[in-house]
Amino acid sequence: MERDAEQQLAGRLRRGEDAAMGELDRTYRRKIYQLALSYMKNDWDAEEVTQDVLLRVFRKIDTFRGDAALSSWIYRITFNTAMSRLRNARFGRPIEIPAADFAAPAEAEAPSREREATDRSPLADDEMYQAQFRGRLAGVLAKMPSIYSAPVVLRDIRGMSMGEASALLHLKPETFKSRLHRGRLAVRARLGDFADGLSLHGSTA
C-alpha cells in the first residue's frame, strides 16, 4: 500500500468507519499472520496474535503519529503482541528459542549409580546453563526496540534467510543488515557474561 493510501486509511480508522476496518483486515491480515507465525510457530497462536493486533490497531489508531509508515507501526505492534504472549505464563516459556539440541532423552530404567553420576555430569550443568541463557536472551530481546530485536529474532533465532527476513519486515536488504548488526551488538552488550555463549551469525550475514 502506498504511503498516501496508508495515511488515508489511518484517517478513516480514526473516524471509526466500518469500511476502513474491513480494508485494514484485507490489506494487513495475511502479513500480520505471517509475521506472527514466525514468532509463535503454530497456526492457533499466530491467528490469535493476528486478531489481537487488528483490534489494537483499531483501538490505538489515535496514537499513530504518522511520522513512520502505517505498516511499520502495525508490524511493531505485531512484534510486541507476540512477545507479550510468549512471555505469558500459559505458554510456559518467555520466547521460543529452540532447545532441542540441549534436551536429553528420558531413560526408562530405574535410577542407578551410573545414571546418578550422569545427572551430576557437565552435560547436566550445560543444560542448566543453556536454559538460563535462553531465558536471559529472551528478556534482552523483549526490552530492545523492535526495529532491532525483530531482525535478530527472525535471522538468528528463527533461522530465516536475509532475503526472507527483510521481505517480511518490508525493509531494504541494506537497512535490514544495518538493523541486524545494531541489534546483535545490543544483545551482546546487554547479555554481559552470557555473551560468551552467544552463537549468532556473522555481523553482516
Residue with cell 505469558: 88
The domain made up of 3-90 is a member of CATH 1.10.1740.10: yes
CA distance 77 to 66: 15
Q: Grid coordinates standing for 8?
A: 488515508
Helix (H) or strand (E) holding 15: none
Band (178; pLDDT cuts 50, 70, 90): very high
DSSP string spanning 140-156? HHHHS-HHHHHHHIIII
Q: What is the pLDDT of residue 100?
A: 38
Burial 9-33 (b: 16+ CB within 10 A, else e): bbebbeeeeeebbebbbebbeebbb
In this structure, what are the phi and psi dihedrals at residue 17, rounded to the nearest 5 degrees?
-70, 130
Encode pLDDT of 91-139 as tens digits.
444 444 444 322 333 333 344 444 444 444 555 556 666 667 667 777 7
CA distance 17 to 25: 13
Band (14; pLDDT cuts 50, 70, 90): very high
Q: What is the number of residues in the chain?
A: 205
CA nearest 95: which of 56, 129, 133? Answer: 133
Say how many C-beta atoms besides its own lie within 10 A of residue 63's C-beta.
Answer: 7
Q: State the span(s) of the chain assigned CATH 1.10.10.10.
A: 100-197
The model scores a pTM over 0.85: no
Q: What is the pLDDT of residue 196?
A: 58
CA distance 159 to 123: 25
Q: How far is CA 103 from the centre of its chain?
A: 22
pLDDT, mean of residues 148-172: 81
Query: Which CATH topology does 100-197 take?
Result: Arc Repressor Mutant, subunit A (1.10.10)
When computed from its CA atoms, the radius of gyration of the chain, rounded to whole angstroms, is 20
Q: State the span(s) of the chain assigned CATH 1.10.1740.10.
A: 3-90
Q: What is the pLDDT of residue 127?
A: 67
